[in-house]
Structure 1
Amino acid sequence: MHRFIVFVSWLFGLLLVGLSLFVTLETVMRKIFGASLQGADELGGYVLAVSGALAFTIALSERAHIRIDLLYTRFSPTVQAALSWLASLSLALFGLFVARYIWLVIHDTLTYNSTAPTAWSTPLIYPQAIWYGAMLIFTLASLWMFGRASRLFFTGQFDRLNAEFHPKTAQEELAEELSDMERR
C-alpha cells in the first residue's frame, strides 16, 4: 500500500506542477504576445477534481482525515476501537455515496453527449471518467480499510485496531515531520 500511496502522491504533485506551468505559460503569453491558449480555468477544474480524489486516498492511508479527538484519548481502548471502526465505516459510506453520484453524472453526460461550455468544447466524458477512476481508487481503498477495521474489531483485536486506525496524535505528527526533515 505504501508504494501505491507514493505513486498517487507523485501523480498528485505532477498534476499540480503541470497545471502551474500551464497557467504560467498562459499568463506570459497573454502579457507578452497578447494571445491565449484558452482553457486554463477548464484544465484547472479537471486537475483539481482528480487531485482532490487522489488526496482523499492519500489522507485515508496516512490517517490524515480530520477527526475531533478531544475526548478520544480519554476513552477506554474498547470505546476508541469502536470510534475508529465507525470512522472507517463513515469513510467507506462516503466513498460509496460519492462513487454512486459521480456515476449518475457520467450517465447523464453519456445520455446527453455533454461537452464543456468553453473554447475547448471538451467532451465531458473524458475528464469525468478520469475523475471517477480517481474517486473509485478512494472508494476501493476505503472499503478495504473498512474490511480490515471490521475484521480487527469483530475479532476483539482492539489494541491492533487502535494502533492502525486511531487519529494521529500531535506527537506522531511531530515525529513524522522530524524524521522527514532528517531524510532531507
Structure 2
Amino acid sequence: MELALITALRRLNRTIAMIVGLGLLGMAAFVVADIALRQVHASFGGSEELAGYAMALVSSWGMAYALLKFGHIRIDLVRSRTAGTVRTLFDIFSMVVMSAVVVMIAVKCWPVVERAIENGSRANTPLATPLAWVQIPWFAGWVWFAVMSCLVTLAAISLFVRGRGARTEPFIGAFAEQDMLK
C-alpha cells in the first residue's frame, strides 16, 4: 500500500510539474517578447513583476516534485557511514524534520494570504495586481508540499514499523554523488 501511494504521488507530481513548467515557459516567452518590443520602444509592461510571481509559484509547487526526485539538499555525512536500520532511522528522522518545517511554513503562509484577502491588498506597482491572486496559489503550493512531505513520512514510518525499512531507501534515502557516478 505504501509503495503504491508513493507511485501515485510521483505520477501526480509529475503532472503538476509539467503544468507548472508549461506556465514557466509561457512566462519566459512573455518576457522575451517584452524585451523584443523594447527594442522598438514599446512594451507590455510589468513583465518583471509577473515573472517574479511566476517564480514564487514555481518554487512553492516545485518543492513536492523535488522531494520524490531527491532534489532537496541533504548532508549525509553520518548517514553514509551507517547501514540497515540505523540508516533508515536517519532517513525517517530527516523526513520528520522536513515535514515539521514545511508544515510550519505552510501554517505561517496563511496569515499573509488572509491579510491580503481581508485588506484587498494590491501590489504597489503600475499593474496594481491583487495580491490574493498570486498568494492563494503560492499558499496552495506550500500546503501541497506539506501534505506530500507528511504522506511520504507516514509511508516510510509504516514500512519501518512493519519490518520493511529497507523498502524506504528508493523514496526517502539520500544518494551521495559517488553512488550516482557508478
Please confirm whether the aligned pair reaches a TM-score higher than 0.5, indicating the same fold: yes
RMSD: 1.8
Partner secondary structure for residue 73 of structure 2: coil
Structure 2: distance between partners of 1:88 and 1:110: 33
TM-score using structure 2 length: 0.87
Matches within 5 A, 1:22-171: 22-32=30-40, 34-170=41-177
Seen in structure 2, the aligned counterparts of structure 1 residues 19 and 154 have a Cα distance that, compared at 3 Å, is same
Seen in structure 2, the aligned counterparts of structure 1 residues 163 and 27 have a Cα distance that, compared at 3 Å, is closer
Deviates more, 1:37-46 or 1:7-16: 7-16
Residue 6 of structure 2 aligns with which residue? none
**1:12-48 CA deviation, whole Å, 9 max, x = no partner?**
321221111111111111111x122111111111110
Residue 22 of structure 2 aligns with which residue? 14
TM-score using structure 1 length: 0.86
Cα drift, residue 171 of structure 1: 6.0
Cα drift, residue 101 of structure 1: 1.3
Question: Letter of the aligned partner of 1:69 in structure 2?
Answer: D
Partner secondary structure for residue 64 of structure 1: coil
Structure 1: distance between partners of 2:126 and 2:181: 47
Structure 1: distance between partners of 2:111 and 2:93: 27
Residue 3 of structure 1 aligns with which residue? 11
Question: Letter of the aligned partner of 1:71 in structure 2?
Answer: V
Which runs of no fewer than 5 residues in structure 1 stay unpaired? 176-184
Answer whether contact 2:68 2:172 (CA < 8 A) is retained: no
Structure 2: distance between partners of 1:161 and 1:83: 11
Answer whether contact 1:106 1:129 (CA < 8 A) is retained: yes
Structure 2: distance between partners of 1:104 and 1:87: 27
Partner secondary structure for residue 133 of structure 2: helix
Answer whether contact 1:64 1:167 (CA < 8 A) is retained: no
Question: Letter of the aligned partner of 1:49 in structure 2?
Answer: A
Deviates more, 1:22-31 or 1:61-70: 61-70
Query: Percent sequence identity over matched residues?
Result: 27
Structure 1: distance between partners of 2:179 and 2:81: 17
Deviates more, 1:166-175 or 1:64-73: 166-175
Structure 2: distance between partners of 1:15 and 1:174: 33
Question: Letter of the aligned partner of 1:56 in structure 2?
Answer: M
Question: Letter of the aligned partner of 1:131 in structure 2?
Answer: W
Answer whether contact 1:77 1:162 (CA < 8 A) is retained: no
Aligned length: 174
